[in-house]
Structure 1
Amino acid sequence: MFQGASQINLDAKGRLAVPTRVRDPLTQGGTVPVVLTAHPDKCLLVYPAPAWEPVRAQIMAFPSLNPASSPWKRLLVGFAEELSLDGAGRLLVSPELRAFAGIDKRVMFIGQGSYYEIWDLERWQQQLDRLTAGGNPVLPPGMENFSL
């Protein structure tokens, strides 16, 4: 289970130092690649490759000629890249994915259960501000009885 948040920096070559506490679980001790892809909220998703496969299969089952599903396939599968961490535990984020997510230097690495999200720090802060605006966030349908 992936959880927690870390603020990290992208270097000048587009490499992202994956937090140490995340590396082994994410790559199963360095033996498994990861898949990096785009998300419609303008962030990136990082899956262990084996966890990505069932997600990809679901996406690919959408009809290709359906005007509602085709853009999703293009976004989620079209941007997907299989990567391995380098010897220093870094991921090389492609210029295309960096541009899509607006990532320049400072990023947030956010655990989401079976995957991580990578956010531009400023965009992440805007998300949090929207969520907490007014002091009482509105829960989506199905979460009305949720309690912490």
Structure 2
Amino acid sequence: MSNFLGSHAINMDAKGRLAIPAKLREELAQLCGSRIVLTASADEERCLLIYPEPQWKLVEEQLNGLPTMKKAVRRLQRIVLGYATPLELDGAGRILVPPTLRNFANLEKKLMLVGQGKKLELWSEERWFAWLDESEDDDEMPPEMEALSL
């Protein structure tokens, strides 16, 4: 399975196309034949998520298995499933980000592509650096994190 790591400063052209860096492109070609799913993150950060197609199928199955009588579940499904867009990298390793997703994440020319293990996040460069500068005092550290030694 994939292990996407690192961050990459990339650019999007006026048509909404961006090139996936060569190392990631090669991994995506081997992992999923360059077929991905691009969707919106349900977090407040307003970034996009890029899943290799096989990983997306697992996420989609989990989302569809949630109890839809809960308002929070319906919101999560509407955002993540509702914005999900299957894409395939072209011969130059590019994808076209649909306008609805560009608007959702406020994407303009300068972007950050950030590895998150089994998926990638796509951020507006401005929002990425603003998020990095935010205070971490908002959330209490969960007990699972207290035992981490990094």
Whether the TM-score (by the shorter chain) exceeds 0.5 is: yes
1:46 to 50, 70, 84: 50
Q: Distance in 2 between matches of 1:2 and 1:131?
A: 26
For the 8 Å contact 2:16–2:96, the answer to whether it is kept is: yes
CA apart distance, 1:28: 1.8
Question: Which residue of structure 2 aligns with residue 142 of structure 1?
Answer: 144
Matches within 5 A, 1:5-44: 5-28=7-30, 31-40=33-42, 41-44=45-48
Residue 109, structure 1, aligned to residue 127, structure 2: no
- Report how many aligned residue pairs link the two structures: 145
- In structure 2, the CA distance between the partners of 1:131 and 1:18, relative to structure 1 (3 Å rule), is farther
Gaps of 5+ in 2: none
Q: Distance in 1 between matches of 2:36 and 2:135?
A: 29
Q: Distance in 2 between matches of 1:56 and 1:30?
A: 16
CA apart distance, 1:26: 1.9
For the 8 Å contact 1:4–1:111, the answer to whether it is kept is: yes
Q: Distance in 1 between matches of 2:32 and 2:58?
A: 21
Backbone CA RMSD of aligned residues = 1.9
Question: Which residue of structure 2 aligns with residue 98 of structure 1?
Answer: 102
Query: What CA deviation, in whole Å up to 9, does each residue of 1:38-71 have, x standing for no partner?
Result: 0022000001101110111000111233222101
Residue 66, structure 1, aligned to residue 70, structure 2: yes
Counterpart amino acid of residue 80 in structure 1: A
CA apart distance, 1:140: 3.7
Percent of residue pairs identical: 45
Gaps of 5+ in 1: none
Q: Which moved more, 1:28-37 or 1:116-125?
A: 28-37
Counterpart amino acid of residue 49 in structure 2: L
Moved over 3 A (4+): 137-141
Q: What's the secondary structure of 1:113's corresponding residue?
A: coil
For the 8 Å contact 2:34–2:89, the answer to whether it is kept is: no
CA apart distance, 1:29: 6.8
- In structure 2, the CA distance between the partners of 1:77 and 1:29, relative to structure 1 (3 Å rule), is closer
